Structure 1
């Protein structure tokens, strides 16, 4: 695809009812401004999740820019989107580290998941977008997303919250209030604002109340300052992030592969949302989008970066501005790469106190889990039908409870991996074996229209309100 964009009108903002299409652009000054807005929209989650996973946030920011450029090239500029850090891998990464794995093991497992997603994308590209719904219907997808999120609850309770319970509580309350009380865009970045507020609160408590005696991230109880600026002062302004090579383990790879289901759901929802806003048929590009996300995840994790996914935050920016120009995304991508080359910024991120992360993660992990319920509600999943109820209930409890199945002396399945297998395989098995009336109920459910948005909260195909009004919907 040639990197050329047609100037929209005189280069100014579109009038009501009009949109700037992916192959068009505003004046370069306005395009740069929009690119900066996309950077702000993706920034919070893109560096918070690497911190939670124990990966380098500088490298994650930089590779998100590289991943976005790769994505835009693969989809031939038809699907404007930003690729930031995926939250779907957080639970699996926690499990890997809980079993003694290091960052090399983490990124190696993520790379395998990226390869699986790229393979799925290739299959979807050649077989058509409908294959996604046949293999992963909303009932199953919602269950997998839910157990991925709720599996993380013990991480909050055992690792982050005990480091400073009062800061964690106040940070959580700030995020809750900011989400509903702050107007427009500020409400959508409530998590980022909560992180800043918690950081400042911790610094203020150090100055007024002195050090805290509490567990560290490693679980050792010591007396220490909540915030340390020593590493920030020592870090240079310009430098290349540290790279981490992947190492591969079959057991660890099994832990992360279920996250691919969540990525498929996210990408499908985002492609449909963009199709609705641009009024284009983008189903032929779903396979390309999945392949591009998988390839981007492979590229990022091959050097120690985070897994990637398309971001609803940036889709919200497009809905608000009615500008779908890929030129703005290239600006955002280049800006992110430049941010990643500032080690002082990375040192600042690494100085975030554990108590602050406790308040942030208790909200984020719950939101991930509830996205699964949102998928069920919007697709009218009928839990009066035991085909839906029984295998999904079993899979979720296995995932949330970290139930373990010892297959051999050297190999076991547990938590997210086992829960996902039970939910997916159990649903398809019961669908085949169930009597005709139950199968007929399932078929009727599949034909019922969705009631609201996709997995990201943006209106699905066939509903145009936010695109026409230019109003962004909160995630």
Structure 2
């Protein structure tokens, strides 16, 4: 926990007080500094589980990633099918967050985002990978760096693909201490949560309405508490249950539609 807080504070310091060029790389800079502090405390002073650099030394510089041919199994498809709803809601939420950060409306691009998600997931699955999406961590990095250029992300994606052919780089990522990753995640996800509240405020969401209050409350608790539901071999985690709760409660509680204002309220 201590090293996680150190990482979180390091991110905040770089984001607020570093030179402009370093602010755009605050996540990377904070990760490097935090890893060095952890290595000094753990490997040097023995205050925490040490970092094992053995896998980095033995991993080759270049190599092909392991590929697997797709297999179709009923229980696996039943487990993955509900994830489609999560990806739709997640994608739409990310577009809303980007719109709030940039002051633009990206609703018209939702179809492209869904199509890109679907094609990328099909491509990843064809090689034995997992489903992919517009990860919220990237949105958090955009909020910190204030870099929104799509060209930058295309270049970063191509660079990431090239790094995927280096097992040694993968080994470097695997030795990053969990407390450091936890601190980084706390900062990034915190920014996304703050952006969500900003969207509510700008759109004047009525939290005096019990339907809105109940829907938001249940969704937040299900997601933050990682509410897990198991149905046979199908297990739905917190993200899936929160998404289903949000969509289901909104449909059930809002079936009567919005209340029409009375003549006196119109005046």
Identify which of 28, 33, 41 aligns with 1:192.
28
Quick one: distance in 2 between partners of 1:306 and 1:439? 48
When residues 401 and 255 of structure 1 are mapped into structure 2, their CA distance, relative to the original with a 3 A threshold, is farther
Higher relative contact order (CA 8 A, sep 6+): 1
2:11 maps to 175
> How far is 1:170 from its partner?
1.5
Quick one: distance in 2 between partners of 1:439 and 1:182? 54
Q: Deviations over 1:199-254 (max 9, x none)?
A: 11122124531363xxxxxxxxxxx42x1211111111111123356672524543
Q: Is the counterpart of residue 264 in structure 1 residue 92 in structure 2?
A: yes
> How far is 1:317 from its partner?
3.3
1:436 maps to 259
Q: Is the counterpart of residue 250 in structure 1 residue 40 in structure 2?
A: no
- Contact conserved, 1:179 with 1:190, CA < 8 A, in 2? yes
Q: Deviations over 1:63-100 (max 9, x none)?
A: xxxxxxxxxxxxxxxxxxxxxxxxxxxxxxxxxxxxxx
> How far is 1:348 from its partner?
0.9
When residues 288 and 273 of structure 1 are mapped into structure 2, their CA distance, relative to the original with a 3 A threshold, is farther
- Contact conserved, 1:179 with 1:187, CA < 8 A, in 2? yes
> How far is 1:381 from its partner?
1.0
Aligned-pair Cα RMSD in Å: 3.8
TM (normalized to structure 2)? 0.74
- Return 5+ residue gaps in structure 2 as ranges: none
> How far is 1:383 from its partner?
0.8
- Output aligned runs, 1:269-418, within 5 Å: 270=98, 285-303=109-127, 304=129, 307-309=132-134, 312=139, 313=142, 316-317=146-147, 331-403=155-227, 415-418=238-241
Matched length: 254
- Return 5+ residue gaps in structure 1 as ranges: 1-164, 213-223, 445-475
Aligned structure 1 segments of 4 or more residues deviating by more than 6 angstroms: 271-275, 408-412
Q: Deviations over 1:384-442 (max 9, x none)?
A: 22232222222322333344667x677676633333223222223333326733799xx
When residues 234 and 316 of structure 1 are mapped into structure 2, their CA distance, relative to the original with a 3 A threshold, is same
When residues 379 and 229 of structure 1 are mapped into structure 2, their CA distance, relative to the original with a 3 A threshold, is same
Give the SS at the match of 2:147.
helix
TM (normalized to structure 1)? 0.45
When residues 410 and 209 of structure 1 are mapped into structure 2, their CA distance, relative to the original with a 3 A threshold, is closer
Q: Deviations over 1:144-165 (max 9, x none)?
A: xxxxxxxxxxxxxxxxxxxxx3
> How far is 1:256 from its partner?
6.8
Give the SS at the match of 1:258.
helix
